[in-house]
Structure 1
Amino acid sequence: MISFTERQRLLVQLLGELEGAISGADLAALLGVSVRTVRYDVQRINRGARTELVVADNSGYRLARVAFRDYLAQASEVRAPISNAERILLYLTTHPVTDVYDVMRDCYVSETVARSELARISSELTGKGLSLSVTGARVQLAGSELALRKLIGQMVRQAMDTVVGRNQRIAVHFPDIDVTSVHGTVAKVLAKSRIEPNDIHLENAVITLAICLQRRNSPLTQGEYSPSRWSPSVDKITLEVLEALVDLYPDRPLAAVDRAYARDVLAVTLSGHLQIDEVPSEVDQQLENAVRQALTLTIEKFNLPIPADKQAKLFRGLSEHTARLVARNKLMPYFHNGLRESLKSRSPLIYDAAVYMADRLFRGLGLPLPDDEIGLLAIYLGLYSEATTFGDGKITAVLVCPRYGTLRDWLLSGLMHRFGERLRIVDMVATNREAIGCDADLVISTLGEQEMGPDTVRISALLSEEDLSCLENALTVAATRRSRRCMAQAMARFMNPSLYFADSDVTTSHEAIRFLCGQLYETGAVPEDFEESVRLREAYSSTAFARRFAVPHSMDFMAHQTSVCILIPRRPIPWGEAEASLVMLLAVNSADYDEFERFYQPLINLLMDPQRFAEVQKMKTFRDFSNYLVQKLSA
């Protein structure tokens, strides 16, 4: 059995994202280690697997995908060691009253490590309904059973995000329960009733039920949980699931309150998949008003392209979703959205809109939304938004063609028939001289006169296949040229060499945000409360991407001047659950939002590519950095 460290799991993940090979130096830079350490990790992975999972040759390192897939299929488990803090927390969930020496013995840590981790855990439990006290040698974890289950759910959620060794890390939390068997049992009962909940809701219900079964010796009490009332048909389905779980684990019957709790978990999970009269919808006026206001403000602020007729349907869907969310927030100790990271990286603007809406819902309803729930809001907003276009997206052209009968009309008709979705003729003139100085991306000329420059493509008046091919190439070149020009203009406006900081000694995300916000404030680009807004945005959802870079920004478009502040630390900075080797703080003025939107998504896409990111890290000066971005973003 092979045991991957966190760094080795990340190494495998990075290689899995690449199509080809990557040099040892680039891979080391991405991981924030030396080339020697990369060689050691690769040797450790291959030696432990007894096969070449990572290929090293003259071209660099690459993942042997077939060998890796076969190995995972044959290995019983790929082990992922858990941290000391997680091991101690797991121990405390079953031994809430203990002493330091038992923690040392059963968690395999020294007294110094035990006391240090206990102190850190104590501070992290603040605001979670739990408290950890260490008095002399005595250790006590206090709080309600429901709060404790939520803590376990959070640890399982972190295990779910593990790239390699996920199953083993999840199993650590369920030593007596087979989560796969619980999933199969629940799905089988629901299938008999022709109910097919989506994978996200089913997974969350299964994990919550597994936590109930695992914690059967610590049942909920009537004082901390009051069951809800559901229609007879809902009761019938949920009871069938619970009976099937009793058959699966006859030696782990649930207490009365836990059975009622499990029934409510299932009912809330199924509420979005049954007829509306099957489950009472608690969409009261206050909730509807809060959702309507949050949605309206979000659409206006982010200029979301949602037609008016779709807005009404979106509002209804979000209102019902929010009502279920209220119930789920009270019930579910575990919620995980596996689409979260792809939504953040592939649709960052929609995700930012969802974060803003989550903040408005919290202000209106006092309803806290974790990162995974925000991902569901992003799905709603994205599904109802139409594709964004900047202008009409077409290449503008001046057509040079002499007046000769219906020749112009025939030629124009042919051009629009073939290139109508990409080309817009803004003017027609008779000579090349008349086209000089016209405001267009391209000149299409049927004349063979003097040279006109690189923006001119010559064709015959009969539009032969060769002409069409030349036009196809010319349109592609013109689009690239215009994109490069727009990108260069945006970079020149938004990026400033005085706001570029390489080889920084900053070591924490808190310090990085404070430093960069301070720099922007000194230049007059942002107001005094800008940093507070940036931290609020970060509190809702980490702005770290792909465990490589972070793009912090404010919740509101409050900058006096749109600016990009760049920091490249000497060593990767811990950023939430990830690390950042590049930090780009964005300050956006609302008047520049449309122009900013044009390059924000391409910027994220570029930095998500491990190979490109490794190249970015090599840029030591602002000029090299900005030129590289302009070149790659407009390619």
Structure 2
Amino acid sequence: MLNKRQEKIILLLDDSKSWITGKEISRLMNVSDRTIRSDIDTINRYYDKPLIESNLRSGYRINQEVLVTLPIELNTVIPQTPEERCIYIIQELMFEKSEINLLDLQDQVFISGYSIDNDIKRIKKMLEPYDDIKLVRSRNYIHLEGSEQSKRQLYKELLSQETQGNFLNLNRLSSMFQDFDLLKVKKELEDVLDHYNYHVREMSMPMLMIHVGIAVERMLRYNYIETSRSIPELEEHKEYLIAKEFFKRLSKRIRIEVVDDEVKLLAMQLMGKKSVTLSNDLVNSYKKDLNVDTLVDEIIENIHNNFDIDFSKDTDLKNGLAVHLQGLIERRNKNINISNIYLQELKRKYPLVFELAIRVGEFLEQVLKTDISENELGFLALHLGAAYERYNTNSKYRAVMIYPIDQALSDFCVKKIENLFSERMDIVACVSFFEEKSIQSIKPDIILTTLQLKHNLEIPTIQISLFLNNEDESKIFQALNILDKKRFRKEFEESLVKLIEKKNFYYDLDLQTPQEVITYMCDRLEEAGYCNEDFKNSVLQREKMAATSFVYSFAVPHSLNVASIRPSISVAFLKKPIQWGDFEVKMVMLLATNEEQSNILKMFFSWLSNMINDANHFAALLETKSYEEFIAKIIE
């Protein structure tokens, strides 16, 4: 048997994927160079194979070809850099442990107490923007203090830093594949897609290429997957013809055999959700009371509840999960454990994405009553990482830059724009001329051009100079503000208006006092399950402290400290204006929300402020005669 130190040496070398000198290993293990040499010899003799290679100049490294032939489970990932260690520590404190013993931590990540002290300083610096979160040290222990809401926000911001440009950037994704050029494989697939006049959405291409890359890597090692899904008419579909032609062409460039099951799997990837509709619902066959759509919705709801991340509108994720879950159940039924050669790299480079996958895996284990392997978690992490990158990318505006690319100052201009406005927009394409169909296919929110340009597209277009002076910056800034207003209106309609339901809208309410109005509206909400009696008492208590009426004949009563069960904005128009504090009130908007709807409250008061500043619009709102008229007027 190997001792713990020898197991750690294997883990360390596997995790580094490069040469490490004996001195470096000895410092990490707190033993002599001679002991390390002895340990390496013991490891190779124990496995009777040269698992660890040695070189007089370079030191030691793991032999990956030998490693994959041995029954060694390497489930722990060692963070290598200070940044990786900081994320590791925060992740452990947020999801695994209430506190960490620093002596144990030194042993886990193979670093000195001095390095740990520096890491703690870095973490405290990272937490400075969060007034509500603190890293507290007590002797040899550390723990995080702060509200759950702030911790979620911290997680999301760290997650966005981790995913940014990694899961939707094909150049970076291609670096994962060492045995072939993924970008050339992509070009081959694009040629076939063009030949069949078949369109793949831009945002879907990175995940599709990941699946293609993994399939090719698998086929190079003669590790094919069989599929038993019953789709008799699949061969008649264009996707099957594309997949077959693609692998046929690729086999002339790369040493792979064209296997029909692999063709079918790629065809189903191209079909996305359609393949689930055509084939048997394997989720339902595995668990009779559940179908794949319901399971995907439950996964997304679980992520929202636990991480406050809303993927409900991400159709690419929904389709990807649906296809993946079908495959997962099929592999489970046939007792196939698919390998994921990038698992360790995913765990080390993207620990927070992998954490998301772990939570989804735990949920699936509970629902499906089956074990989910780490390899399966790795594939889930790829889907979730790409989804979170889309989640953040969608919050930025997409810009197309049109300029004469051969001019010397062009790159400088683009970089300056990116430096100034990177938080609000991404330049997704740079072209040297305008071509309507091409620009439409990119779907930009804004066009920036150094040339005079007239077109018929309904896309704001800003002409700037290559020198990007103050006037140009101002024009871009103003254009982005206009886009913000349009986006606000859209978000307002999607988020706020749906909280104003017809059943909670009252017209010609004949009551005499604020207390009567509040009691009536809260009682109706309580009867419908939106809140409990404590909510009403809290609203009345808030009203005693200071009236929530405003000068323009309306009041906005709300709870002092009791959250509603379900969010709602209840609206009442009184038959006759009543005295409410210092003002006579005709319209009442009762807010029933909780901490999770803090963004909705901000949106509501922003809308209210804009509405009050437009006296004519607000006067018209007060003349509302019905629910439909009220909704129409607030979104005008």
TM-score, length-scaled by structure 2: 0.33
TM-score, length-scaled by structure 1: 0.33
